[in-house]
C-alpha cells in the first residue's frame, strides 16, 4: 500500500480513461503492489455521452462515485488520504484529470488553475521528490502546478520508452495520446510502473544513507 492512484471519474471524455486505469492496476499487481485508490469528492465539471460524444446537460455526477466504478476495492476521497503515508503517486489519463482537477482549462481569458485540494496533495510529492507517474493527460495537472507550458510532446520511438524528469522525479508515458493498440499502451504503463518503483527504491536508499541508517 505504498503507491497512490489518483482518478478523475470514469470515462475518457469526462473522467479517467478506463483502459489506462485498469492497465495501471494490472501493472502494479504484476509488481506485487496494491495501490491506494482515491479521487476528489466533488461534482464533475461536465458529463459526456460516450456513444455520441455529446455533452449531457442537467446531469450532475460526483467524481468519487464515478471513479469507484473503476476499482473493485475500497476507494477513498482525496481528503481521507495522507500523502505522507505514500511513497509515490500515479495519475492515469483521460480528460477527467484535466477538466475535473482544474478550473479555466481551454477557456478564453480565464487563467488555468489546479483545484486547491489536488494542488496541495500533488505538491507534497513534488516537494519531497517522491516519484509521480503520469499517463497521457494525467500529466496536465502536474505540469500546471509546475508552471510549465502545456505542449504535445513527440511520441517515443517505442511504446516501452518513458520520459523521465529526474530532477522532479516525474515519469510520463503517452498512453492513448500516442498509441492506439492496448498492447502498446500496456507496454508503456508497465515501463512507467517499473521506473516509479526503481525511483522509490533509490529514494529510500538515499534517505537511509550509506550506512543504512535513517537520515
Domain locations along the chain: 3-208
Structure confidence at residue 184 as a pLDDT band (50, 70, 90):
very high
Q: CA 64, CA 70: separation in Å to the nearest integer?
A: 10
Q: What is the mean pLDDT of residues 28-53?
A: 88
Identify the residue with better confidence: 82 or 215.
82
Confidence at residue 215, expressed as pLDDT on a 0 to 100 scale: 45
Q: What is the mean pLDDT of residues 37-61?
A: 81
**Burial group, residue 186, by CB count within 10 angstroms (0-12, 13-18, 19+):** buried
Nearest alpha-carbon partner for 7 in 106, 91, 80, 128: 91
Q: What is the mean pLDDT of residues 107-127?
A: 88
Catalytic residue among 134, 140, 162, 200: 134
Enter the pTM of the model. Answer: 0.91
Q: Does the pLDDT of residue 212 top 70, yes or no?
A: no
Highest mean pLDDT, choosing among 95-104, 109-118, 137-146? 137-146
Q: What is the average pLDDT value for the chain, to the nearest integer?
A: 91
3-class DSSP assignment, residue 112: coil
* Catalytic status, residue 134: yes
Q: What is the mean pLDDT of residues 150-160?
A: 86
CATH T-level topology, domain 3-208: Rossmann fold (3.40.50)
Amino acid at each position: 500500500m505504498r503507491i497512490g492512484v489518483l482518478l478523475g471519474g470514469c470515462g475518457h471524455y469526462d473522467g479517467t480513461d478506463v483502459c489506462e486505469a485498469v492497465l495501471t492496476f494490472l501493472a502494479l499487481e504484476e509488481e506485487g503492489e496494491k495501490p491506494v485508490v482515491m479521487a476528489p469528492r466533488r461534482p464533475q465539471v461536465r458529463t459526456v455521452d460516450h456513444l455520441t460524444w455529446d455533452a449531457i446537460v442537467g446531469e450532475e455526477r460526483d467524481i468519487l462515485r464515478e471513479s469507484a466504478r473503476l476499482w473493485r476495492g475500497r476507494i477513498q476521497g482525496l481528503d481521507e488520504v495522507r500523502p505522507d503515508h505514500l511513497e509515490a503517486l500515479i495519475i492515469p489519463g483521460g480528460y477527467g484529470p484535466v477538466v475535473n482537477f482544474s478550473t479555466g482549462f481551454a477557456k478564453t481569458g480565464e487563467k488555468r488553475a489546479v483545484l486547491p485540494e489536488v494542488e496541495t496533495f500533488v505538491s507534497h510529492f513534488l516537494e519531497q521528490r517522491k516519484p509521480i507517474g503520469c499517463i497521457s493527460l494525467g500529466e496536465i495537472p502536474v505540469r500546471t502546478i509546475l508552471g510549465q507550458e502545456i505542449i504535445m510532446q513527440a511520441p517515443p520511438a517505442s511504446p516501452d520508452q518513458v520520459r523521465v524528469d529526474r530532477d522532479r522525479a516525474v515519469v510520463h508515458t503517452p498512453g492513448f495520446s500516442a498509441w492506439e493498440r492496448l498492447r502498446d499502451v500496456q507496454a508503456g504503463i508497465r515501463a512507467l510502473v517499473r521506473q516509479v518503483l526503481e525511483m522509490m527504491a533509490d529514494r529510500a536508499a538515499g534517505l537511509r544513507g550509506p550506512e543504512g541508517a535513517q537520515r
